[in-house]
Each structure stands twice: as structure tokens, then as C-alpha cells.
Amino acid sequence: MIKLKEFKKSDIEQLCSWVSNATPEFVMQWAGPSLEYPVTIERLNRYLIDSSKSESYMYIFKALNENNNAIGHISLGKIDHQKHSARIGRVLVGEKNARGNGYGEMMVNEVVKFGFKQLNLYSICLGVFDFNSSAIRCYEKCGFVKTEVLPEYRKVGREYWNLVEMRILKRDWEKIGG
């Protein structure tokens, strides 16, 4: 069981510790091009400030386990109130000993529940690189379906990565017990 709590400035140091030794490829996979490598406290501060100033407010959460320890991070942004849609991003189970225990799935389920129940969204989407099979399985367990594959979507180093777009609709979420 996890709880999502608002990610605050006081949480930046914890998040930075989870990604401070990450590779440029990992940072691209986790945060996309909007967060430069290397991840620093200053860059994460900017991320928090920018998210509150954007036209489409972004909800940024830390995930707390059953012992109230922060174990992860997730966001819900690109909120379009006209289309009743949003996009999940920056999903991370940061605590190494918490990985492989279903926390990622719990985090996604909680943010989907928040989007559909609190924000009255109709659809929630996300993007994941096609080689990240464990993340794709996690999202499918949460009810997301693949809607599109964007070949050679992002150039990272000398490689091009394919992006898989996934989406869940509120009515489908409700059918699976939402």
C-alpha cells in the first residue's frame, strides 16, 4: 500500500539522491529532454518552479510506503481541462530495496485514481521507450493500452529510441475496478 503526497521543495534532496549517479540515458528515459543531465538540486528546484508556472499545472507527488518512507516519485501533467486529459510522467521507484515489490504499479494506480476521481479526467496517457519492457508490463497491469509506436522518436547518443504511447480511458478503468 502506498500514499501519494505533494512533492515539495523539502523532497528535492531525496529525489536528487536517487538519481545523482544516474547515466544520461537513464535521465532521458525517466525525465525526457526537459531535465538536463546531470541531475542537480538546482535543476530539480527549477523543475518544481517551472511546473507551478506552466499553463497546464503539473501535480508532482512523492510516494510513501506503508511505513511512511518516501520510496518514489510520479507526476501528472499536461492537464487539458477542455479535453479532460493528462499525461503521467517521471515515474520512479527511487529506493533500490523497494524495486520489484509492485510499488511502481501502486503509484501508477494511485495517480490514475487521482486523475479520474479528483480531476474528473476522461483519459490519461503516457510515453515509454519500447525497450523498457518492465515498465510496459506495469502500465498494462494498470489498464493502459498501447495506442501508437513512434519510431526513432528520440536520439540518445548514437541511437534512436522508439516511443510507445499508452492510454487509459476512465470507462475502461472503471470496468477493471477503478
- Tracing cell 472503471 back to the chain, one arrives at 174
CA distances for 91 relative to 30, 82, 157, angstroms: 7, 25, 22
Query: Alpha-carbon distance 5 to 141, whole Å?
Result: 23
What is the pLDDT of the chain when averaged over all its residues? 95
pLDDT of residue 20: 87
Looking at the 3D structure of the chain, how many domains does it have?
Answer: 1
Closest CA to 122 of 77, 147, 85: 85
Write out pLDDT tens, residues 20-51: 889 999 999 999 988 889 999 999 998 888 88
Write out pLDDT tens, residues 46-91: 888 888 776 667 999 999 999 999 999 999 999 999 999 999 999 9
Residue type, 25: E
* DSSP-derived 3-state class of residue 96: helix
Structural domain for 22, as ranges: 3-175
Report the CATH number at residue 132.
3.40.630.30
Whether cis (ω within 30° of 0) applies to the bond prior to 38 is yes
**For residues 94-108, average pLDDT:** 96
Q: Percent of the chain scored above 90 by pLDDT?
A: 87
